[in-house]
Amino acid sequence: MTNKKPVLVSGIQPTGRLHIGNYLGALKQFVELQNSGKYQCYFFVADLHALTENPSPKDLSQNIINLVIDFFAVGLDPKKSVIFQQSQIQSLQELKWVLGTLVPPGELLRMTAFKEKVLQALKPEEREKLTKEEFDKIVVSTNYGLVEYPILMAADILIFGGQFVPIGHDQLQHLELARTIARKFNNRFGKIFVEPRPLLAPTSRVMSLDDPTKKMSKSLPNGCLFLDDKPEDIRAKFRKAVTDSGSEIKFDEVNKPAISNLLMIYSEFSGLTIAQIEAKFKNKNYSQFKEALAELVISYFEPFNKKKKLFQKKIVQVKKQLTAGSNKAHIVAYKKIQEVKKLIGLIPHLNN
Question: Which residues are tagged catalytic?
Answer: 117, 215, 218
**Spatial strand order in the sheet of 81-85:** 81-85, 40-45, 7-12, 164-167, 197-200
The answer to whether 48 contacts ligand AMP (rule: CB under 6 A) is no
From residue 186 to residue 205, what is the string marking binding to ligand AMP with x (rule CB under 6 A)? -------------------x
| Binding span for ligand AMP by CB under 6 A among 9-17, 78-86, 263-271, 311-319 | 9-17
**Shortest gap between Cβ of 260 and ligand AMP (angstroms)?**
14
Binding residues for ligand AMP, rule CB under 6 A, total 16
The answer to whether 22 contacts ligand AMP (rule: CB under 6 A) is yes
The helix/strand/coil state of 197 is: strand
- Of 102 and 242, CB closest to ligand AMP: 242
d(CA 145, CA 181): 18
- Of 52 and 163, CB closest to ligand AMP: 52
What per-residue string of b and e applies to 222-259 under the rule 16 or more CB within 10 Å gives b? Answer: ebbbbbbbeeeebbebbeebbbbeeeebbbeeeebbbb
Binding ligand AMP (rule: CB under 6 A), the pick from 174, 179, 215, 235 is: 215
The answer to whether 237 contacts ligand AMP (rule: CB under 6 A) is no
226 backbone dihedrals φ, ψ, rounded to 5°: -85, 150
The CA-atom distances, in angstroms, between 30 and each of 37, 134, 339 are 12, 41, 29
- Of 122 and 172, CB closest to ligand AMP: 172
Short-list 154, 145, 143, CA closest to 179: 154
CA within 13 Å, CB half, 105: 6
The answer to whether 25 contacts ligand AMP (rule: CB under 6 A) is yes
The residue number with the shortest CB distance to ligand AMP is 25
**Shortest gap between Cβ of 266 and ligand AMP (angstroms)?**
15
What is the radius of gyration, based on Cα positions, of the chain?
Answer: 22
55 backbone dihedrals φ, ψ, rounded to 5°: -75, 165
| Binding span for ligand AMP by CB under 6 A among 12-20, 70-78, 175-183, 311-319 | 12-20
The answer to whether 216 contacts ligand AMP (rule: CB under 6 A) is yes
- Of 91 and 171, CB closest to ligand AMP: 171
Q: Which residues, numbered 162-191, are part of the site for ligand AMP (CB under 6 A)?
A: 167-168, 170
CA within 13 Å, CB half, 253: 6
Binding residues vs ligand AMP (CB under 6 A) = 12-13, 15, 21-22, 24-26, 167-168, 170, 205-206, 215-217
